[in-house]
């Protein structure tokens, strides 16, 4: 069985530990859930073998020469609904693209897409359908899961969100002391956080959305690190704050501890009954929501056919964003994503943006051997796009076995990273220019949300930004000596909804071609269960002085040192809780060190 190394670094300064850098060997995660199937892997098909052989031709070709072929470049440009994709800077010829279509055929890509839209249980390890497209479908659409049209359920929740968010925004739903709720803290992590944060960042400076958000704040509490709590509640008054607990399962340890912490913040300031007015939930698990103490009437449902990382268009994103910007703004977002859903389902492959993006990714990863992809939006409003796509892509396609449980003899999945241009240029672009070949997604926007044109300047500020957007791809493509590749994607206006849906579907295309299940995440689940074992140990050692047991030497050493460096007994724990409860404010940073 292969092994993958990983690093863990305890922050030596904060914890006052001696150097604790350690290298862990984690077993590559294999899921023995499904019987080994006799199905053919995609690498055994003729189109895969043809592409493998074809890489030799491509290696002899310089991108500079490919870029001189006008006809080739022209056929590598696709436009749809305000998006323009130029993939002419890919290390690919028209023959490559043709061979990729054949690969798609061998992977039954069209049929797989149809199976997804028709609600088949394509997430076979969890026995679920995958229907995030239903979250943004028009009211009259019919999309079935297990023989039931789910669209009316989707719209029931959307209507409920519209109604609730309007009440909060117009002051007919007020806090326990009668004050309007103008600030929202959304608690959630992973898919219950990254998508909503991305959209919030994209809307924050949108001229129309800004008007609707006047006087309101939306914050996100994700990390279980108490520093994140302190930062979230800093300057907020529980009397005017609404907390939205977002968790598909309502069991995620980080989210639930943060939810209990903010419940304490509210009830210690306003009394336990205030929770009913100040806390609402988004979840598929309404039983646990009620158990937590949130009235199920104040809960907004979604369904197990929505994967966490694909959930931004469910109540997960729609509720907090509607509270901040109003439902009408969010509805436009849903419509934009829906337009790409329809395009993905029906457009022929040669004009299908997510399909092209997905096939090119497969080409780069599995044939050219480029494991990473840089996502480079030339728009500050898209600053959280790369972190969101990191989860969508890496949690989906970070798999080493096929959907039938067969270990993959080829690389699948991509390492995604990125920063808005031009910040990235002053950070990691050097490596892309001269160090390693990294396929790049350059994303440019035609019209700025916030244009500035200073008198006397040669160009407007947005043109200055876009000068870099146009220059960098060519610098990479032509270089001075080295060969690089990239693709460009220009949008007319800022269209986060269409980008989001395009990238979601791109990941799906990759997964279908690689023959993996893009919709489960068993590796992450392993980490969660190991954390449970550590949590039990910390409790036993803190409260009953039990020695650290049951871990390997390295973890035992680190845990023991951690426990020795900051000891507290139960009375101290109560005191800390007391502080949270009464003053609630986490000690200001000057006092924080007293606990270390
Ligand atoms: O919404 P939940 O159930 O709290 O889960 C949060 C996240 O945890 C994961 O299960 C693992 O990171 C993600 O898939 C999910 O988005």
Listing DSSP states for 174-203 in one string gives: B-TTS-B--EEEEE--GGGTHHHHHHHHHH
Query: Is the C-beta atom of 252 inside 6 A of ligand 1?
Result: yes
Distances (CA, A) of 181 to 15, 108, 184: 38, 51, 8
Q: Which helix (H) or strand (E) holds 51?
A: helix 46-59
pLDDT at position 487, please? Answer: 57
Q: Do 400 and 411 meet the contact criterion of CB atoms below 8 Å apart?
A: no
> Out of 426, 447, 582, 593, which one is annotated catalytic?
426
Phi, psi of 101 (to 5 degrees): -65, -35
Query: Mean of the pLDDT values across residues 124-147?
Result: 97
Can you tell me which atom of ligand 1 is nearest the CA of 283? 1
What's the half-sphere exposure (Cβ side, CA atoms, 13 Å) at 136? 26
Quote the CA–CA distance of 368 and 411 in Å, as a whole number. 11
Quote the CA–CA distance of 150 and 305 in Å, as a whole number. 10
Please say if 248 is a catalytic residue. no
* Token duo for residue 253: 């340890």
Can you tell me which atom of ligand 1 is nearest the CA of 521? 14
Give tens-digit pLDDT for 341-357: 999 999 999 999 999 99
Q: Do 276 and 242 meet the contact criterion of CB atoms below 8 Å apart?
A: no
- The residue whose CA has the least distance to atom 11 of ligand 1 is 524
Residue 137 region by backbone torsions, left for phi larger than 0, else alpha for psi between -120 and 50, else beta: beta
Quote the CA–CA distance of 171 and 181 in Å, as a whole number. 7
**For the chain, what percent of residues have pLDDT higher than 70?**
86
- The residue whose CA has the least distance to atom 14 of ligand 1 is 308
Q: Do 103 and 42 meet the contact criterion of CB atoms below 8 Å apart?
A: yes
Query: Is the C-beta atom of 317 inside 6 A of ligand 1?
Result: no
Distances (CA, A) of 24 to 226, 240, 280, 554: 26, 46, 40, 8
Banded model confidence at residue 490, pLDDT cuts 50, 70, 90: low
Ligand 1, pocket-test mutation among 123, 187, 188, 191, most atoms within 8 A of CB = 191
Can you tell me which atom of ligand 1 is nearest the CA of 189? 6
Strands (E), 87-229: 144-145, 148-149, 183-187, 217-221
Quote the CA–CA distance of 578 and 583 in Å, as a whole number. 8
> Out of 383, 395, 419, 488, which one is annotated catalytic?
395
Quote the CA–CA distance of 516 and 539 in Å, as a whole number. 39
Q: Do 86 and 487 meet the contact criterion of CB atoms below 8 Å apart?
A: yes
Quote the CA–CA distance of 213 and 204 in Å, as a whole number. 8
Quote the CA–CA distance of 493 and 81 in Å, as a whole number. 11
Query: Is the C-beta atom of 308 inside 6 A of ligand 1?
Result: yes
Quote the CA–CA distance of 416 and 374 in Å, as a whole number. 6
pLDDT at position 445, please? Answer: 92
Can you tell me which atom of ligand 1 is nearest the CA of 307? 14
pLDDT at position 233, please? Answer: 96
Query: Is the C-beta atom of 230 inside 6 A of ligand 1?
Result: no
pLDDT at position 276, please? Answer: 97
Query: Is the C-beta atom of 67 inside 6 A of ligand 1?
Result: no
The predicted model scores a pTM of 0.87
Ligand 1, pocket-test mutation among 123, 255, 308, 388, most atoms within 8 A of CB = 308
Q: Which of 122-131, 283-292, 519-528 has the lowest mean pLDDT?
A: 519-528
Give tens-digit pLDDT for 163-214: 999 999 999 999 999 999 999 999 999 999 999 999 999 999 999 999 999 9
A 10 A CB-CB count for 106 gives: 17
DSSP secondary structure of 276-325: HHHEEEEES-HHHHHHHT--GGGEEE--TTS-GGG-TTSHHHHHHHHHHH
Query: Is the C-beta atom of 189 inside 6 A of ligand 1?
Result: yes
Can you tell me which atom of ligand 1 is nearest the CA of 395? 14
Helix boundaries (H) for 451-495: 461-478
What percent of the residues of the chain are helix, what percent strand, and what percent coil, each to the nearest 5?
A: 55, 15, 35
Ligand 1, pocket-test mutation among 192, 292, 307, 316, most atoms within 8 A of CB = 192
Whether omega before 422 lies within 30 degrees of 0, making that bond cis, reads yes
Nearest to 199, CA basis, from 308, 324, 284: 324
- The residue whose CA has the least distance to atom 7 of ligand 1 is 190
Quote the CA–CA distance of 577 and 583 in Å, as a whole number. 10
A 10 A CB-CB count for 19 gives: 8
Query: Is the C-beta atom of 249 inside 6 A of ligand 1?
Result: yes
Q: Residue 365 has what DSSP assignment?
A: I
Query: Is the C-beta atom of 248 inside 6 A of ligand 1?
Result: yes
Query: Mean of the pLDDT values across residues 515-544?
Result: 89
Which residues are registered as beta bridge partners of 407?
Answer: 401
Alpha-carbon Rg of the chain, whole angstroms? 25
Residues 6+ apart with CB under 8 A from 392: 309, 310, 503, 504, 507
Q: Residue 123 has what DSSP assignment?
A: B
Say if residue 482's pLDDT is above 90: no
Distances (CA, A) of 377 to 96, 312, 419: 27, 20, 7
Q: Do 412 and 365 meet the contact criterion of CB atoms below 8 Å apart?
A: yes
Please say if 395 is a catalytic residue. yes
Give tens-digit pLDDT for 543-590: 899 999 999 998 899 899 888 887 765 555 544 444 454 443 333 333
Say if residue 2's pLDDT is above 70: no
Give the pairing type, strands 372-378 and 241-246.
Answer: unpaired
Distances (CA, A) of 177 to 181, 217, 241, 269, 476: 10, 19, 11, 11, 59
Give tens-digit pLDDT for 241-273: 999 999 999 999 999 999 999 999 999 999 999
DSSP-derived 3-state class of residue 3? strand
Ligand 1 centre to CA of 250 (Å) is: 9
Nearest to 141, CA basis, from 335, 302, 400: 335
A 10 A CB-CB count for 439 gives: 25
Query: Is the C-beta atom of 247 inside 6 A of ligand 1?
Result: yes
Query: Is the C-beta atom of 526 inside 6 A of ligand 1?
Result: no
Ligand 1 centre to CA of 118 (Å) is: 25
Ligand 1 centre to CA of 438 (Å) is: 29
**For the chain, what percent of residues have pLDDT higher than 90?**
77
Q: Do 436 and 482 meet the contact criterion of CB atoms below 8 Å apart?
A: no
* Token duo for residue 539: 């409790």
Mean per-residue pLDDT of the chain: 88
Would you state the torsion angle of the CA atoms of residues 478, 479, 480, 482, taken in this order, to the nearest 10 degrees? -100
Ligand 1 centre to CA of 248 (Å) is: 7
Banded model confidence at residue 542, pLDDT cuts 50, 70, 90: confident
Can you tell me which atom of ligand 1 is nearest the CA of 188? 4
Quote the CA–CA distance of 498 and 83 in Å, as a whole number. 8
* Token duo for residue 535: 């949590």
Please say if 525 is a catalytic residue. no
Give the chain's end-to-end CA distance (angstroms, integer): 41
A 10 A CB-CB count for 32 gives: 8
Ligand 1, pocket-test mutation among 29, 128, 189, 286, most atoms within 8 A of CB = 189
pLDDT at position 488, please? Answer: 60
Ligand 1 centre to CA of 413 (Å) is: 19
Nearest to 469, CA basis, from 418, 416, 415, 425: 425
pLDDT at position 24, please? Answer: 27
Q: Which residue has the tokens 């949300």?
A: 449
Q: Which residue has the tokens 């598909």?
A: 248
Ligand 1 centre to CA of 502 (Å) is: 22
Give tens-digit pLDDT for 417-428: 999 999 999 999
Cβ burial, residue 427 (10 Å; 0-12/13-18/19+):
exposed
């Amino acid at each position: 069985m292969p092994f993958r190394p990983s690093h863990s670094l305890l922050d030596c300064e904060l914890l006052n530990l001696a150097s604790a850098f350690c290298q862990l060997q984690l077993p590559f995660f294999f899921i023995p859930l499904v019987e080994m199937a006799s199905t053919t892997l995609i690498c055994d098909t003729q189109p895969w073998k043809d592409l493998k052989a074809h890489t030799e031709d491509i290696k002899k070709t310089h991108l500079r020469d490919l870029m001189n072929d006008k006809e080739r470049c022209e056929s590598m440009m696709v436009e749809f609904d305000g998006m323009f994709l130029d993939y002419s800077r890919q290390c690919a010829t028209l023959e490559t693209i043709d061979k990729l279509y054949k690969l798609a055929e061998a992977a039954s890509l069209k049929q797989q897409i149809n199976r997804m839209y028709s609600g088949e249980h394509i997430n076979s390890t969890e026995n679920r359908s995958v229907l995030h497209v239903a979250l943004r479908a028009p009211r009259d659409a019919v999309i079935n899961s297990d023989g039931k049209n789910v669209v009316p359920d989707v719209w029931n929740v959307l209507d409920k969100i519209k109604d609730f968010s309007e009440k909060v925004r117009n002051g007919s739903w007020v806090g326990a002391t009668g004050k309007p709720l103008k600030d929202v803290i959304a608690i959630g992590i992973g898919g219950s956080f990254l998508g909503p944060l991305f959209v919030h960042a994209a809307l924050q400076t949108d001229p129309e959305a800004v008007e609707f958000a006047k006087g309101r704040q939306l914050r996100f509490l994700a990390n279980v690190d108490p520093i994140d709590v302190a930062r979230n509640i800093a300057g907020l008054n529980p009397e005017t704050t609404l907390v939205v607990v977002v968790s598909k399962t309502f069991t995620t340890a980080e989210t639930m501890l943060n939810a209990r912490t903010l419940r304490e913040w509210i009830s210690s300031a306003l009394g336990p009954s205030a929770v009913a007015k100040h806390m609402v939930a988004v979840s598929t698990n309404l039983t646990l929501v009620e158990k937590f103490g949130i009235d199920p009437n104040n809960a907004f449902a979604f369904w197990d056919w929505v994967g966490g990382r694909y959930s931004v268009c469910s109540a997960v994103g729609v509720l907090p964003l509607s509270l901040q910007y109003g439902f009408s703004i969010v509805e436009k977002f849903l419509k934009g994503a829906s337009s790409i859903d329809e395009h993905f389902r029906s457009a022929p492959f040669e004009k299908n943006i997510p399909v092209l993006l997905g096939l090119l990714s497969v080409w780069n990863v599995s044939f050219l051997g480029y494991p990473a992809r840089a996502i480079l939006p030339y728009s500050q409003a898209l600053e959280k796009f790369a972190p969101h796509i990191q989860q969508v892509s890496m949690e989906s396609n970070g798999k080493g076995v096929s959907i039938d449980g067969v270990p993959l003899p080829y690389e699948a999945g991509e390492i995604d990273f990125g920063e808005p241009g031009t910040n990235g240029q002053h950070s990691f672009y050097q490596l892309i220019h001269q160090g390693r070949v990294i396929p790049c997604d350059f994303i440019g926007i035609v019209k700025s949300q916030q244009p500035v044109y200073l008198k006397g300047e040669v160009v407007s500020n947005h043109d200055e930004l876009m000068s870099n957007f146009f220059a960098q791809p060519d610098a990479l493509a032509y270089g001075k000596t080295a060969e690089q590749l990239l693709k460009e994607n220009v949008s007319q206006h800022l269209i986060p909804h269409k980008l989001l849906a395009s990238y979601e579907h791109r990941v799906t295309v990759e997964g279908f071609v690689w023959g993996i299940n893009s919709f489960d995440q068993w590796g992450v689940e392993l980490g969660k269960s190991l954390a449970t074992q550590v949590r039990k140990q910390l409790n036993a050692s803190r409260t009953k002085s039990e020695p650290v047991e049951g871990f390997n030497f390295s973890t035992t050493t680190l845990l023991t040192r951690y426990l020795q460096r900051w000891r507290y007994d139960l009375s101290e724990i109560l005191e800390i809780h007391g502080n949270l409860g009464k003053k609630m404010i986490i000690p200001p940073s000057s006092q924080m060190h007293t606990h270390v």
